[in-house]
A and B are shown apart, each in its own frame.
Chain A
Amino acid sequence: MDILMTGKGLHKIYRTGEVEIEVLKGIDFQIFQGEFIVVLGQSGSGKTTLLNIIGGMTKASTGELYYKEQPLHSVDEYHLTLYRRNEVGFVFQNYNLMPNLTSYENVRLAVEISQSPLNVQDVLSEVGLEAWSDHFPSQLSGGQQQRVAIARAIVKNPELLLCDEPTGALDIKTGIQVLIALQKLNRQYHKTVIIITHNVEIAKMADRVFYLKDGLLESVKINEQPLSPEEISW
């Protein structure tokens, strides 16, 4: 498999006034194209920060990050934006949909800045929401909202899909529906998917599991036989 991303000695320090908090303390990793990765760790372990750095939402304080062998750690804000625009799709725990745009419009919003977008209706059908395209987020259930968020992320046809606790706000049934959609993307369309969660059950779906503890990558576990979402429960 081709290497999609490489991180070397990533540190992240947040400064609030005179207080410094080192969230990441030197992380090295490699991510391969088409992998399904789950990042596990307790609250405060640095999962979200790592995801944000991988997604180009923030820069590491020190260290190197390469995407398809191109350095991301040294590019300017504009090129980081282009990276997010063309290569990355995000799914957030709280969906972050635009409350006053309908499902269709939320997805269409991403299309307007994409180079090779997919068809909005096709993507909404893919996540099982074609009948809900005219509904505003407030008229949808949590699971439906999260699926709109997934549709919005994948309509850009990104290489990398980053999901921050995508099932965190959902009950098990809708959570599994969301995971089915994500796995489908990974298996059928060979998109690289990274999920961060503290739900150890979801890790059973992954090709590899990154364990984060106190800002360090404690271990990486390879799943020889990843499970399908229908086979897991929590």
Chain B
Amino acid sequence: MVMLRRKTWRDIKENKGVYLACIVVIVIGLMIYTSMSVVVENMDKAQKDFYSETHFADGFISVTGYPENKVNALTFIPGVDQAEGRIVKDVRIVDQQKDSNRYLRMVSTSMTNSPKINELRLMTGHLPTDNQSEILVDPQFFAANHLSLGDSINVILEGKQATFTVTGTAQSPEFIYIMRTAQDLYPSPEDFGIAYVPLSSLKTLVKEKGQVNDLVVTLKSGVNFDSVKESLQTVLKPYGLQSIVPRKDQTSNAILTSEITNIRSMAKTLPVVFLGVAAIILYTMLRRLIEQQRVAIGTLKAFGFTNQEVVRHYLTYPLLIGTIGGLLGGLSGVALSFPLTTLYKQYFALPGLKSEFSVKYLLVGLFLSLSFSLVSGIRGSLDILRLEPAQAMRPPAPVNASKTSIEKIKWFWQRLSSQAQMGIRDVFRTPTRSIFNVIGIAVVFSLMTVSWSMQNMTNLLTVVQLEQVQTYDVKLSLAHPTATGATKLALTHEVGVSKVEPVLEVPVTLRSSWLKKEVSLMGLSKDSSLYNILDKNGHRIEVPNQGILLSEHLAKTLNVKTGDVINVESPWRREPIGSKGENLLVQGVVPQYVGLNAFMEEKELQRFLRQGEISTSMLVKMDQSEVGRIKSKYRNASNVTSIESLKDTGDKIRKMLDSFGFTTWLLAILGGITGFALIYNSSIISLSERKRELASLRVLGMTPREVLRVITSEQWTLYAFGILLGIPLAYGLEIGMAQAMSNDLYSLPAELPPVALLGAAVGTAFSVLVAQSRAYYKIKSLPYVEILATRD
């Protein structure tokens, strides 16, 4: 059917704007789908391969000191396959030029008998020699600090200075996403990195000879970590067991896995939204085309073209659009996957993570695009089958000659101009099309609310967390739980210090029936003013004398509410053998946006631990000008692991959120383009359907702007209904997104502030206005005399 193909091509050329808009929406959808799918597949594969090649550990244990010669005995525990003892120490880098705190986590590793767990992959240079002060560092720290092989690094290790030579860079499966503490939120390779030191070298530098403070284990195939955990706890408790973390909760792995899950779910949901809108555009466009070409269809049928031939002809429109959109979307998605992978490589040091041209996703994308196009095409062209040739030759009967329901509201209807009445009447007379457009606008609106609520999240994270929750200036973390008195006293007497509050952060396992979670339990004094627990309205909540407070995300994870009782267990608690923690009453559930904690009154927590008056960090309120001095004074102290200035942390978090900002705006822009395409399509349809009416209005003496009101009143009506439907949709989306994106590092509130709804409404209105401006130019150039001279 060469001639029909020519007809298709010329039809498309005549209405290229609408078809182009539709292609753009498909391209957006598929670009997101393909790029994210390629990235997620690459990350997933790189993670699995790297874990399996390097024998990534199943369990991570932190102890005060465990005899090195007893490590092998752990493999006698049923289920444990291999065990390795390590010395892990955070050390500060001595830096003459900089005042900033740069740290390395020194992880001992056996260089000669290559360890079977968490094997290192040497990236550059050579392995350090046993008994030599040589180290390998992680490649990101190496690059961020502009190091060269052979460079020396001076560190303070347990109060003493030591110098190490960098012999190469290496990557461990344990440190793919490198953060010093979970509160850091994102890697900062300039300030913190991992150093791999021969065990023989590190042993000589630490006080506890013949002891390791960190253990990693692998399990026999098919063994569940929980079944081994109890035995490990029993064996290790006498050695100052601090934490036992299964692989799934290991920070780097948890973040990487959660990121992969997030991208995967986004790759599945977001494209459906865009392809759905594209399908709406295609459907309405095709319906219009078929109505417009009624006589042509009748003529083709009169000539003897079969229904199938005519339907096939009209299906070539969506199929052509679907193919072009599918190919362009797939190709641009594959192209985008390269920079996206590079972006992820900045955060995740995954060897083997690379993007490759993916024929598979190109084809899947094309298939998706064609499926959506075909379904909308078939739905749109069904009328062809019903149309009898003789009937097609006559102009269609008016859809509905009776008054529409909105006209019954007389006081409203009578206040409208004639143009508005014409426009609004049409909304109600073509209900299917109107419903589809309303759904499309609602989708665009809810996408935009996501953008605005991201801004809200930024506000919560920065303003609430850094200005209302954490009100200290400096946090001094102690190497071990330490008796509170002396440290507090020393700090209180420092110049510029106005208040010191001890904090006790304890690793605990919270259990409610079969659900459990390992978190850090924070003990705060009742009158704490440097760390505030706030309710949803931002009011301060006092820590209860007894019982425990849980963060919302934690309560959800454990499926508990205020008034329930949970079991709290801690490796730090002194308790008789066989005893398993204590049951505590949940006194309240509180919002927490950064971190995942439970809270108790400090004295009550000390009672629970039975270790006397101890603390793990000191919160200090002080004069900003003295912060530098305090840092210099305490950073070399052997019992201080880090001194964190809240201002520096705030700067880091804001920097990270700025990089989020790009994604946020991108989503808003893509939503805006989609909204434009939808409304533009609707304008073109209205224009072509109404060209005689509009031409008559022009002949009557109306200006193009006055005539435009017929179209705009129709669209603003659709817009109003779209927003109304969009509000519950946006809430649904927000809840889903908050649940999907919340993790142990931060939890997003499932709330939509009015400003997000307002911002999205304005954003959607903007795309409507832009589309209408295009319609205005079309009306301006309407050849009204010719239109009125020709038969409909």
Contact = CB atoms under 8 A, between A and B. Distances in A.
B307 A77 contact: yes
A224 to B, nearest CB: 34
A224 B237 CA distance: 123
B304 A109 contact: no
A183 B10 CA distance: 35
A101 B304 contact: no
B699 interface: no
Contacts of B393: 52, 57, 92, 96
Nearest to B303: A110
A156 B305 CA distance: 12
From B305, B307, B309, B391, residue with most partner A Cβ within 10 Å: B305
Contact of B302 (A16, A49, A55, A109): A55
A58 interface: yes
B14 interface: yes
A90 B7 contact: no
Contacts of A77: 307
Interface in B767-792: 791
Contacts of B309: 113
Nearest to A85: B304
B299 to A, nearest CB: 4
Contact of A101 (B3, B302, B305): B3
A17 to B, nearest CB: 10
A96 B299 contact: yes
Contacts of A108: 2-3
Nearest to A110: B303
B301 interface: yes
Contacts of A82: 304
Given A57-B388, A57-B389, A58-B388, A81 B301 contact: yes
Contacts of A84: 301-304, 389
B724 interface: no
Contact of A90 (B2, B302, B388, B791): B302
A198 to B, nearest CB: 18
Contacts of A96: 295-296, 298-299, 393
A86 B305 CA distance: 10
Interface in B294-344: 295-296, 298-299, 301-307, 309
A22 to B, nearest CB: 16
B108 to A, nearest CB: 78
A78 interface: yes
B22 to A, nearest CB: 20
Interface in B2-20: 2-4, 6-7, 10-11, 14
Contacts of B303: 84-85, 90, 109-110, 113, 152, 156
Interface residues of B, number: 28
B10 A101 contact: yes
From B11, B296, B298, B304, residue with most partner A Cβ within 10 Å: B304
Contacts of B3: 101, 105-106, 108-109, 112
Interface string A58-95: 10000000000000000001100111111010101010
Given A81-B305, A109-B4, A112-B1, A58 B390 contact: yes
Interface residues of A, number: 31
A13 interface: no
Contacts of B390: 49, 52, 57-58
B304 A86 contact: yes
Given A90-B302, A98-B296, A101-B3, A58 B391 contact: yes
A57 B302 contact: yes
B295 to A, nearest CB: 5
A105 B4 CA distance: 9
B515 interface: no
A43 interface: no
B304 A105 contact: no
Contacts of A81: 301, 304-307
Nearest to B305: A113
A78 B304 contact: no
Nearest to A162: B302
B490 interface: no
Nearest to A114: B304
B489 interface: no
B399 interface: no
A30 interface: no
A18 B388 CA distance: 20
A125 interface: no
B367 to A, nearest CB: 30
B73 interface: no
A100 interface: yes
Nearest to A136: B10
Nearest to B12: A100
Interface in A154-188: 156
B700 interface: no
B307 A16 contact: no
B304 A100 contact: no
From B388, B391, B393, residue with most partner A Cβ within 10 Å: B393
A60 B4 CA distance: 31
Contacts of A58: 388-391
Contacts of A98: 7, 296, 299
B397 interface: yes
A110 to B, nearest CB: 6
A177 B4 CA distance: 29
A105 to B, nearest CB: 5
A140 to B, nearest CB: 14
Contacts of A16: 397
Nearest to A100: B10
Contacts of B2: 108, 112
Contacts of A101: 3, 6-7, 10
Contact of A85 (B4, B295, B305): B305
Contacts of A90: 299, 302-303
From A58, A77, A78, A109, residue with most partner B Cβ within 10 Å: A109
Interface of B: 1-4, 6-7, 10-11, 14, 295-296, 298-299, 301-307, 309, 388-391, 393, 397, 791
Interface of A: 16, 49, 52, 55, 57-58, 77-78, 81-86, 88, 90, 92, 94, 96, 98, 100-101, 105-106, 108-110, 112-113, 152, 156
Given A81-B301, A85-B304, 15 more contacts: A16-B397, A49-B390, A52-B390, A57-B301, A57-B302, A57-B390, A58-B389, A78-B306, A88-B304, A90-B299, A109-B4, A109-B7, A110-B303, A112-B4, A113-B309
20 contacts: A16-B397, A52-B389, A52-B390, A52-B393, A55-B302, A57-B389, A57-B390, A77-B307, A78-B306, A88-B302, A94-B791, A96-B295, A100-B14, A101-B10, A109-B3, A109-B4, A110-B303, A113-B304, A113-B305, A113-B309
